[in-house]
Amino acid sequence: MNTDQILKDLQIIVGREFATNSPEDLYIYSQDPGASLPRPVDFVVMPKTTEEVQKIVKLANEEKIPLVPMGGGLTLSGLIIPVKGGIVLDMKRMDQVIEINELSRYALIEPGVSTGQLLAYLNEHHPDLQPAIPDAPPSATIAGNVLIHGSGYLSQKYGDHGAIVNGLEVVLASGEVVKLGSCAVSDYWFARGPIPDLVGLFLSSFGTMGIVTKLSVQIFPKPKFREIVFGLMKDEENIPNLLLEITTKEFIEDVILGKQDKPEWMKGYIFFMVYITGDSQEDIDAKIKILKKIYRKNGARYMKATQKMIDLYIEKPIFASGAADFRKGGGFEYVGANMPLEKIPEA
């Protein structure tokens, strides 16, 4: 591999300041925030347009260099660390919110748009709409989350976040650009069908099938009231029945559960948080009453959320990052949410 020539070619494509093979620049791209061991990277490039991605892919194809696309770089399982070196495509410069369609309720965005960016954009320009928010810091990209079937707010109501993808624009290994979903046959990105649904080929493929350069995700009406109903239990064998009863209630927006040893009083407890919404406080209160009964029936007890909890989990949705640095003795182990209810006690 002619390293100097390839670097020069990459810099011609994206600009001198957006392609590098300097060790000090490559270092951060050789690892992720999880426990995976670092692996070497040969080049990092930051494209700005679909056309630049096409040129990078064609160059890599000619030179037989592996490509790894990266969004926010927050995965915890080594998904963005190259296995055999090559080029990491850092997609953060492709950060435009292209369109918000209020009638058909979708956001057309580039792959570098973060959760926090889309949320802020909607709050400012479309305050009656909300995106699905992953259980991750606001710097996580929408594309990175949905392409790995991520979960978080609205997962209970609408399915994992991969289910909210309406359409994709993808650069294939040949450099060809394809559009998938209704955008393939119209100017609208409102649905996957009624044409054959090929979007699924690219979900959870981690860039091995192609590099996503545009995507459409569903957005949803924002409820007037949102609340978290906390609970605590000690016997993990009760979790499946508890979750079964909770998730049969159609007003549940999301469920999170886990264990932690800090603060000291939480040691030995399983905590769970159920997100609910409503059109009035009376509506919220009625739903809390139903959940309290479910908790008691399944050996759990209700705990009223403090203002600090509300700030952490609703007002500033940074659940994972907030837990990770608890009193500087933090960190967490994440087992994922895609599993049958029967396996949750073991997890």
DSSP bridge pairs for 259: 270
- The reply to whether 214 and 101 lie within a common domain is yes
Copy the structure tokens of residue 51.
């056309």
How far is C-alpha 301 from the chain's CA centre? 31
Residue at token pair 């906390």: 230
- The reply to whether 46 and 61 lie within a common domain is yes
Which residue type does 244 have? L
| Alpha-carbon distance values, 163 to 159, 167, 345 (Å) | 6, 11, 26
41 contacts 29 by C-beta, under 8 angstroms: yes
- The reply to whether 295 and 217 lie within a common domain is no
Over residues 92-105, the mean pLDDT reads 98
Residues 151, 221: Cα–Cα separation, whole Å: 18
230 contacts 273 by C-beta, under 8 angstroms: yes
- The reply to whether 275 and 170 lie within a common domain is no
Provide the CATH number for the domain around residue 131.
3.30.465.10
Judging by DSSP bridges, how do beta strands 165-171 and 177-180 pair with one another?
Answer: antiparallel
Judging by DSSP bridges, how do beta strands 252-259 and 270-278 pair with one another?
Answer: antiparallel
- The reply to whether 125 and 206 lie within a common domain is yes
- The reply to whether 159 and 261 lie within a common domain is no
Query: What local confidence, expressed as pLDDT, does residue 323 receive?
Result: 55
For every residue of 207-247, DSSP letters joined together read: TSS-EEEEEEEE-EEPPSEEEEEEEEES-GGGHHHHHHHHH
Query: What local confidence, expressed as pLDDT, does residue 331 receive?
Result: 65
Question: Residue 246 pLDDT > 60, yes or no?
Answer: yes
Task: Answer with the one of 37, 71, 93 that is the final residue of a domain.
Answer: 93
Residues 125, 101: Cα–Cα separation, whole Å: 12
For every residue of 2-22, DSSP letters joined together read: -HHHHHHHHHHHH-GGGEE--
Question: Residue 329 pLDDT > 70, yes or no?
Answer: no
Residue at token pair 């009863």: 245
Residues 344, 233: Cα–Cα separation, whole Å: 14
- The reply to whether 230 and 161 lie within a common domain is no
Query: What local confidence, expressed as pLDDT, does residue 327 receive?
Result: 58
- The reply to whether 103 and 212 lie within a common domain is yes
- The reply to whether 17 and 119 lie within a common domain is no
pLDDT band with cut points at 50, 70 and 90 for residue 337:
low
Query: What local confidence, expressed as pLDDT, does residue 333 receive?
Result: 67
- The reply to whether 205 and 244 lie within a common domain is no
Query: What local confidence, expressed as pLDDT, does residue 134 receive?
Result: 87
Query: What local confidence, expressed as pLDDT, does residue 158 receive?
Result: 85
Copy the structure tokens of residue 3.
């390293």
Domain of residue 66: give its range: 3-93
Which run of H or E residues covers position 117?
Answer: helix 115-125
Count CA within 13 A, CB hemisphere, residue 261. Answer: 5
How many distinct structural domains can be found in the chain? 3
Task: Answer with the one of 61, 93, 125 that is the final residue of a domain.
Answer: 93
| Alpha-carbon distance values, 253 to 101, 246, 285, 334 (Å) | 23, 10, 15, 21
Query: What local confidence, expressed as pLDDT, does residue 334 receive?
Result: 67
Residues 168, 143: Cα–Cα separation, whole Å: 10
Copy the structure tokens of residue 56.
């990078």
- The reply to whether 87 and 102 lie within a common domain is no
Query: What local confidence, expressed as pLDDT, does residue 259 receive?
Result: 85
Question: Residue 122 pLDDT > 90, yes or no?
Answer: yes
pLDDT digits (tens, 9 = 90+) for 144-185: 999 999 888 888 888 889 999 999 999 999 999 999 999 999
Query: What local confidence, expressed as pLDDT, does residue 152 receive?
Result: 85
Query: What local confidence, expressed as pLDDT, does residue 258 receive?
Result: 86
Which residue type does 153 have? Y
**Radius of gyration of the chain, Cα coordinates, nearest whole angstrom:** 22
Task: Answer with the one of 221, 252, 273 that is the final residue of a domain.
Answer: 221
Provide the CATH number for the domain around residue 256.
3.30.70.3450
pLDDT digits (tens, 9 = 90+) for 22-58: 999 999 999 988 888 999 999 999 999 999 999 999 9
Burial of 212 per CB tally in 10 Å (0-12, 13-18, 19+): buried
pTM for the structure as a whole: 0.90
- The reply to whether 78 and 108 lie within a common domain is no
Question: Residue 330 pLDDT > 90, yes or no?
Answer: no
